[in-house]
Amino acid sequence: MTATISQAIAATHEDGPVTRYELSNGTISTAILSWGAIIQELHVPGRDGTTANVVLGFRDVKRYFVKHPHFGAVVGRYGNRIAGGQFELDGQQIRVTPNKGTFTLHGGDRGFDYYNWESEALEEGDTVGVRLRRVSPDGEEGFPGTLTATVTYRLTPDNALRIDYEVTTDKPTVHNLTNHSYFNLAGEGSGTVEDHVLTLNASHYTPTNEEQIPTGEIAPVEGTPFDYRQPHAIRDALRDGSSDQIVRARGIDHNLVIDRPEGDGSLAPAARLVDPASGRVMTVETTEPGMQVYTGNQLTGEIVGYSGRLYRQTDAVCFETQHFPDSPNQPTFPSTVLRPGETYTSTTIYRFGTE
């Protein structure tokens, strides 16, 4: 089948017109916004051929302009948490905007998902895509250095949505970009994902304290609710009242350490998700060392989503491929420091099929 791409102005913000790109490979299709580099839609067939939009979000593009739970967006400069809104870099104490209690979450008051990115359509043989670019000025939300981020989405012939990140800076800084899509393989607005079957290629995780900041420990998943090395239902972890980790987070909201040879930055399998009812299967591969698995614990039924239905707790699951939370304050974690002259690259692939 022939891959296609089209684009149109979907809304206008004071930052400029927001472009919406529609991509299709003939089997799956997606809609990408220049605002926040957001995946607005992702349509995938089930075993009977019926197609469903498997990501949460909004039909009205303007709804993304105001506060929301980062639906489909690229978050940054630093995805996830930085304890105390501060860290030391090259002997200097850096203070960034604390926007969640005492800590910084997903970049501060106005993270990358609340800006309009430069964007252009890509056609590369039978692959279509969108390249987005944002220049974050020195001092934005307190982060040092002018940081240039490029994110490229590609819809490939083998039914995968590939995300490539490239980041440079003109001063030493830290960064941790990720995509914050919420997945429900039964279809957006269909209800809970508790019956989805999950497998994680992770034998360790990073436990957290009362503020869900990593303690610095890298602990085995064996004997914990986070042991998904063998496939089982998401629901199995969610009601374990004996786990203070689950109780604090109101579900899963933890960084899993991807199993891979030490120092190997190649693509590795991270997760496999199956909706038994529809037969839809999604796999996640990444070059990142970690992945935040989040079961939508803060969805409280106050948001009306794309299909007009309310979003509630466990209505989706996120797979935020990443470096570890609070790495700037945790010397034993993989470093998130980027220096002038360096180019940071990473890749994450969401691949779809049926069983």
Report the mean per-residue pLDDT for the chain.
Answer: 97
Longest dimension (CA), the chain: 59
Closest CA to 226 of 212, 214, 213, 236: 236
Handedness of CA 210, 293, 76, 340 (dihedral sign): positive
Quote the DSSP letter at residue 84: G
Output phi, psi for 24, to 5 deg: -145, 145
pLDDT for 254 equals 98
Q: Is residue 325 over pLDDT 90? A: yes
Q: Is residue 263 over pLDDT 90? A: no
- pLDDT category of residue 117 using cuts at 50, 70 and 90: very high
- pLDDT category of residue 265 using cuts at 50, 70 and 90: confident
pLDDT in tens, 183-233: 999 999 999 999 999 999 999 999 999 999 999 999 999 999 999 999 999
Listed range (9-18, 49-58, 261-270) with the worst mean pLDDT:
261-270
- Enter the tokens of residue 152: 């490229």
Complete domains list, the chain, with CATH? 4-354 (2.70.98.10)
Is 320 annotated in the active site? yes
Is 180 annotated in the active site? yes
Give the residue-averaged pLDDT of 110-124.
97
pLDDT in tens, 60-92: 999 999 999 999 999 999 999 999 999 999 999
Q: What is 10-44 written as a DSSP string?
A: EEEETTEEEEEEEEE-SS-EEEEESBTT-EEEEEE
- pLDDT category of residue 259 using cuts at 50, 70 and 90: very high
pLDDT in tens, 272-311: 999 999 999 999 999 999 999 999 999 999 999 999 999 9
- Enter the tokens of residue 301: 């039924």
Those residues whose C-beta lies under 8 Å from the C-beta of residue 239, and which sit 6 or more positions away, are none
Catalytic residue among 41, 188, 285, 320: 320
Catalytic residue among 70, 180, 254, 323: 180
Q: Is residue 121 over pLDDT 90? A: yes
**Cβ atoms of 355 and 282 closer than 8 Å:** no
pLDDT in tens, 147-195: 999 999 999 999 999 999 999 999 999 999 999 999 999 999 999 999 9
In three-state secondary structure terms, 172 is coil
Please tell me the distance from the alpha carbon of residue 320 to that of residue 323, in angstroms, as a whole number. Answer: 10
Read off the pTM.
0.97
For residues 325, 330, 333, 339, the Cα torsion angle rounded to the nearest 10 degrees is 90
Please tell me the distance from the alpha carbon of residue 18 to that of residue 241, in angstroms, as a whole number. Answer: 44
pLDDT for 137 equals 98
Please tell me the distance from the alpha carbon of residue 235 to that of residue 229, in angstroms, as a whole number. Answer: 15
CA dist 155 → 26, 30, 44 (Å) = 10, 8, 12
- Enter the tokens of residue 157: 């012939």
Question: Helix H segments across the chain?
Answer: 235-238, 244-249
